[in-house]
Amino acid sequence: MADRKSERGGILGAIGQFAFVIGIVLLTKTVAAEAYYVPSGSMLPSLLIGDQLLVTKFPYGYSRYSLPVPLAPASTERLLGKLPQRGDVVVFRLPRDPSQTYVKRVVGLPRDHVQMRDGRLWLNGKVVPLRRAGVGQMEMDNGVVTAPRYIETLGGREHAIFKLRWEGELDNTQEFVVAQDQIFVMGDNRDDSADSRLAPAAGGVGFVPVENLVGRVDGIIGSWDPIVRHDPVWTWPAGLRFSRFFSRVN
């Protein structure tokens, strides 16, 4: 009988330890940080397809979308809420389909006026500074192309963008006025990003409610080039981009 009690106690103890570990993991993912994978090239050259991102939760406070599963009630107020800064790279839940998670750069805050004119970003009636910075490799559906690289300065902070053309569908837009409790986001790959410039009905993002923010992208914890998955499995380690491991995101 004592052996049975000891065995039962051991099982219950193991279950308790497992539940404790799961609880710590969920608490960490809710309060501190969570990892996200980059599946597309909309944020090139800042983020590459296959980057694994470290997304911190506390910079903007907490909403139901801070939870691994958004079970809390909807609310425009965030616990310990704080707005992002222009230029922050953020992860958010897509407003038209919260089951999807997107990553973009914040370019507009509440009450900002945002517009594209001839491929240049205008903010509150002033063109955002832009300078040429060589070329870079841009991944496309039909392969890799060499693309002009530019440095954009937003809120005193610099980040790189790709720009191939200046008269595309999203290069001349209406003036967007960002409402209270919303932000305006864009991809750094300006010619290949469905973002706030494009209405949700047209497959874009539209304005993003502050509630939908998951967190801020602070770094890259790992990166693996998915193109090698078409090669023999023993060559897959060659796809590891060690130079991007534990690197910072501007």
Which CATH number is 213's domain given? Answer: 2.10.109.10
Residue type (1 letter), 174: Q
The answer to whether position 142 is within a domain reads no
The answer to whether position 3 is within a domain reads no
What residues make up the domain containing 123?
Answer: 32-128+173-248
State the Cα angle at 105 between 103 and 193, rounded to 5°.
65
Could you tell me the pLDDT band of residue 122, with boundaries at 50, 70 and 90?
A: very high
Q: Report the predicted TM-score, pTM, of the whole model to 2 decimal places.
A: 0.84
What pLDDT is attached to residue 17? 45
What pLDDT is attached to residue 201? 95
DSSP state of 233: G
The count of structural domains within the chain is 1
pLDDT at 243 over 60: yes
The answer to whether position 25 is within a domain reads no
Mean pLDDT of the chain: 85
Catalytic residues: 42, 104
Q: Are 185 and 205 in contact (CB under 8 A)?
A: yes
The answer to whether position 144 is within a domain reads no
What pLDDT is attached to residue 123? 98
